[in-house]
A and B are shown apart, each in its own frame.
Chain A
Amino acid sequence: MRSRPAAALLPLVGLAAFFALWEAFPRLDLVNPAFLPPPSVIPEAFLRELRSGQWLMAIGGSLGHYLGGLALGIVLGIAVGTLTGMSRTAEGLTAWIVRVLRPVPGLAWVPFAIIWFGVSPEAALFIVAVGVFWIVYFASHGAIRGVDRDLIELAAAFGFRSAPERLLTVVWPAATPGILVGVRTAIGQAWMAVVAAEIFGVAGLGQRMMQASTLLATDIVVVYMLTMALLYGVFDAAFTALQGWMLRWRA
């Protein structure tokens, strides 16, 4: 019983030690404070960004790319994954397309994104959506393919025989746990895509970080790193709660 509070404190102790060590390095001149700002200067940098309105604007821009790209990638990933998961013909037709396109990293799409959409929110949204699409597509395809044939037989035995009926009564519900795993991975990966897309100049956290780093304003860079970590934490926690509720039927 006594070890319980101690165990709960351990992560906090670890975090405190981490900040203490981080503070010590620039203070003791082990590294140049311009290269690594101590954490004690971060709150002040944050307040400056907040007062100037830069922080809210950056967050607003990034959230737009993030949520838009995420929504588009998730919807298309589930749609195409469902199609290829249910139809052997669709799976066969797309097999080599998938093999060719899959290994292309999200960043490699940046030139095309700029050519097609210019340096615009649409370009950022596109890059985020591409990354999300593949993750959700593979998760959905696998989950749909893996649906227990017995459940499909059950649906048929009670008269649900058309593809849309099968999809709604058993295939999608049965595949939901697998699809949600993909969505959760995508929620994390999409932040990386957001930063990557914005580094090329689309307004948002990534662009602000690049601006700050060219001015060696490393404290501001850290402000945005922490902002992103916080946003990711909030989204992941909210999604995990939603996932738990959606899968409350599991033992």
Chain B
Amino acid sequence: MAGLIAIRDLALTFTRDGARTTVLSGLDLDIEPGEFLAIVGASGVGKSTLLRVVAGLVPPSAGTVRLSDPEPGRRAVSLVFQDSRLLPWRRVLDNVAFGLEKLRLPRAERRRRAQGALARVGLADLAGRWPFQLSGGQRQRVALARALAVEPHVLLMDEPFSALDALTRESLQDELARLCRAYRQTVLFVTHDIEEAVTLADRVVVLAGRPGRIVAAHRVAGGQPRDRSAPELKAVAQAIREDLAGAGVSQNLQTAD
């Protein structure tokens, strides 16, 4: 089966105040259907930028990003941001339906799909609330439901849990793992948290250096749910740490202990 996302020789250069900064260069990456791929790297290495290029928000300076063609009523990709970015003037259900409005679906169909997505993240009861009435964890679940409602081929997630407290973060990680397994959702997940990456992902790609390049890739064995304290996960996490130390950036990384 063809990859859902194929990135070839991608480079990204910004020009700001006359100074050129190359953020990413020579990047190749493929994402296979059903795969949960995590990209780990220090702050400022260009992980979020890479996700924005894939989402079509930033044009690449060189190279190509090829996405699969979505069927009518679906999107190739959808994005969950670090902050929930709910629209405060829309009730929860209408926030979830946001992306569906672009897909030219009948009103009843939009409503049905939004309700379905909201139920999947366990918030069906909160459909009529305003965003300001939600907790941080609930807001991020709504943002996840909004991204799932458009049934993306690949769900892009930009450090989606990093602004949450540790307990909420773990419960949302478990929920995401459960959802992705249940619906065989393909995910491209960016994080600076190594433990999060090895807990969730089937494959972890390590991004490091300036400009950012892929310095290593690891397969994480074992299905979901995973035991966070399993020695296999610890071993992969340790290997990733060594990759990053090799690239000279480990001191910038957050660790769980």
- Which residues on A are within 8 Å of B, measured CB to CB? 150-151, 153-154, 156-160, 165, 169-170, 173-174, 176, 248-251
List B residues 127-155 near A (Cβ within 8 Å): 130-132, 150
Q: From DSSP, what is the main secondary structure of chain B's interface residues?
A: loop
Contact B89 A150 (CB under 8 A): no
Question: Contact at B99–A159, with CB atoms within 8 Å?
Answer: yes
Q: A159 to B130, alpha carbons, bound, how many Å?
A: 23
Query: Which residue from chain B places its CB closest to the CB of A160 in the assembled complex?
Result: B102
Interface size classification for chain B: 20 to 34
Contacts of A160 in B (CB 8 A): 102
Q: Which residues of the other chain, B, contact A176 by a CB distance below 8 angstroms?
A: 89
Residue among B57, B98, B132 making CB contact with A249, cutoff 8 Å: B132
* Residue from A153, A156, A158 within 8 A of B98 (CB atoms): A158
Interface of chain A, helix or strand or loop or mixed? helix
Q: Is the beta-carbon distance between A153 and B132 smaller than 8 angstroms?
A: no
By a CB distance below 8 angstroms, the chain A residues around B81 are 150, 154
| A170 and B87 form a contact (CB under 8 A) | yes
Complex alpha-carbon distance, A14 and B56, angstroms: 63
Name the residue among B78, B79, B89, B102 with the largest chain A CB count within 10 angstroms: B89
Known A158-B78, A158-B150, A159-B102: A250·B88 in contact at CB below 8 Å:
yes
The answer to whether B90 touches A249, judged by C-beta atoms less than 8 angstroms apart, is: yes
Are A157 and B79 in touch, CB under 8 angstroms?
A: yes
Q: How far is the CA of A99 from the CA of B67 in the complex (A)?
A: 49
Our pick among A157, A170, A249, A251 for the contact of B55 (Cβ within 8 Å) is A157
Q: Mark B52-93, 1 if CB is under 8 A from A, else 0.
A: 000111000000000000000001001101010101111100
Q: Measured between C-beta atoms, what is the minimum distance from A89 to chain B in Å? A: 21
Pick the contact of A156 from B57, B91, B130, B150 — CB < 8 Å?
A: B57
Given A157-B57, A158-B102, the answer on whether A151 and B132 have CB atoms closer than 8 Å is no
Please give, as numbers and ranges, the residues of chain A lying within 8 Å of B101 by CB-CB distance.
169
- Given the contacts A159-B99, A249-B130, A151 and B87 also touching, CB distance less than 8 Å: yes
**14 intermolecular pairs with C-beta atoms under 8 Å apart:** A150-B85, A151-B85, A153-B57, A156-B57, A157-B55, A157-B78, A157-B79, A158-B102, A159-B102, A160-B102, A165-B102, A249-B88, A249-B90, A251-B132
Interface 1/0 per residue, B171-196 and A, CB below 8 Å: 00000000000000000000000000
